[in-house]
Chain A
């Protein structure tokens, strides 16, 4: 196998390269995927308002959002495809052994994706062809299927955290109950956490576009609506997300104590465990962290006497890297609370005066909230994925045993990075072009009709 020997020179089979490639393509795709879950509902809402009120601002917003959705959905559809390939290309050991166990939610997700793609085609290209009511209705399946696909895909990830629904005898898979695998203990907290995250990312990201425009002096009704509607989605989701996040952490505490210990940078098991914020972990100790006495015991057990397992109880060879998990977790939680505070500020002003806060700092905060929400979502995924290391399937299969041993796999990482660099530049460029398409000061019906969705 001379050819293989040649490729070997380029890089041996390496779990690090495979993990980087998977993490990178997944972390990229999920941003677009969030918009695919959250945006259709907002587009339909403004289209519906536009139909009810005939307000050109709503009607133009609907068209411009729909056009952006068309681009984003296309990018999401194709950047999701490589993930399907990577399941086998990178993780053949996982699929060979457990494809039969986690395949089902993916198969169902395939249909949800079909429904999304079909109705998005009808919805976008039917803008001028279908009667208004039918057109609005044709968009509903996109909303339902988008949320459903998030549920099914994340339930497969949940199984990797809480594997169940299969019997292995002598290293051979003999019995599978795919329904039990799909509805494992991690499924509900994890899927709901992710769906809410998608709403938050969409809401804050879209609102941030209009916050930037308003900071540049465009304060007309069109821009105010463009900020207000997505922002409401984000700020409504934020407090619910904090409750769901708490639920998800409790799930981790009872089912994956190692992950919780890493999230908290906790070495010594015991009672009266403090909550540690920030810092870095080395030599079995967390340095430079802020400690809140009894905090973790209280959070996990609602009792300062609550016992929490630390890393001292976990064998060395199954401990995840702690610092990155701990800091990623703190980043997610910190941003989550900051977004909650932003929502309270907005909610208070709206309650008192029925208008946005007047301070420019509010607009500045909304302008960064989109990127912040994305960062929180990514940090959450880093927490759960790195926190599961060295397992790909918790306590069942190690990452090292799942990776494709074929030589030269790190070239794939290089190719993926190069393509995604171009893809990122192009996507950002095109979206900015769309956002910058000149707008009249007060949109008229004429401007609405002139703006082509496809």
Chain B
């Protein structure tokens, strides 16, 4: 019972990471595609403005999930990280490149430096979610057996399901970022940028839907057990919810309900995650490791649960303050466009 609660909490942490930090990665992707330094200037300023205050806090969800899993489900953590050490090391290096390049870019002024750090930031923003998704695909398709380094270190994450999952994750990050940035741009009074990101949201939304359908086909062929679970009675409602929320998001974008579409877009992505989670439950590694086999002894679970309760009571109000602080319109007289990004 306690184990299930903690697993659900870890899953909530993964969801928070994907919905919040995922959008920060997506911001990097749009930074990459923003065009030349003059043409892309305002877009990059908007992205930096939205990502800047929150990305570090968003990033901590990843740490939260890692430490929670290794404390409460040590065999799961050991099996996943030993077999998938290649994509996970690449994720860690991508996280380093992304975060430090972003911080460095803000601290330098010359154009060539900003371009260099900007390129590192943007490139690693695309690569990192791919490997994270590929690792997820490896677990979902049952290629990570229990035990230390028991799976194949290459084919476990380089296979049809993993590649699809990696592509889907990159797409989801880009989609969430575009949707969030649309509303941010309008709030800051930059109607033309809002329109640009609205168009991108629509395009990536459609692409993501296509990826989801292709993904299901790939899973059907490549990972029949996962497919059977996904379309079983427990997970199917969430798969349907994701499709409905995705379609609804497209509609809301068409009628320009930019704040509401944040909710539905996030729901569409979160439903995929929870659909996957429920499809696996009570297995944490698809063939062979159930939650009760993976769970730590009761003493650890209880202590962890207590710490989580106290920690979340401190964390959630702080997070709320952070987000409220930076979701308000920024100094109306001094909208970002009045201050060129390179002079900050």
Residues of A participating in the B interface, judged by any CB pair closer than 8 Å: 1, 3-4, 7, 67, 70-71, 73-75, 77-82, 84-90, 92-93, 95-101, 103-104, 106-111, 113-115, 117-122, 124-126, 128-129, 141, 173-179, 404-409, 412, 415-416, 419, 423, 426-427, 430, 433-434, 452, 454
Contact = CB atoms under 8 A, between A and B. Distances in A.
B52 A454 contact: yes
Contacts of B75: 96
A95 B89 contact: no
B interface: dominant SS: helix
B300 A101 contact: yes
B71 A106 contact: yes
A412 B89 CA distance: 7
B153 A74 contact: no
Interface of A is mostly: helix
A407 B82 CA distance: 10
Contacts of B221: none
B81 A71 contact: no
Given A89-B89, A176-B300, 5 more contacts: A85-B88, A87-B66, A88-B88, A92-B78, A129-B331
Contacts of A71: 103-104, 106-107
A107 B68 contact: yes
A319 B63 CA distance: 35
Given A81-B92, A433-B108, A110 B78 contact: no
Contacts of A122: 53, 321-322, 325
A157 B300 CA distance: 18
A100 B74 contact: yes
Interface string B62-77: 1110111011101101
B234 interface: no
Interface of B: 52-54, 56-57, 59-60, 62-64, 66-68, 70-72, 74-75, 77-83, 85-86, 88-93, 95-104, 106-108, 117, 148-149, 152-155, 296-297, 299-300, 303-304, 307-308, 311, 314-315, 318-319, 321-322, 325-326, 331, 344
A1 B152 contact: yes
Given A78-B96, A93-B148, A114-B60, A406 B82 contact: yes
B89 A81 contact: no
Nearest to A427: B100
Contact of A177 (B74, B296, B299): B299
B128 to A, nearest CB: 11
14 contacts: A4-B154, A84-B66, A85-B66, A89-B82, A99-B70, A99-B78, A107-B308, A107-B311, A110-B64, A110-B67, A114-B57, A114-B315, A114-B319, A117-B59
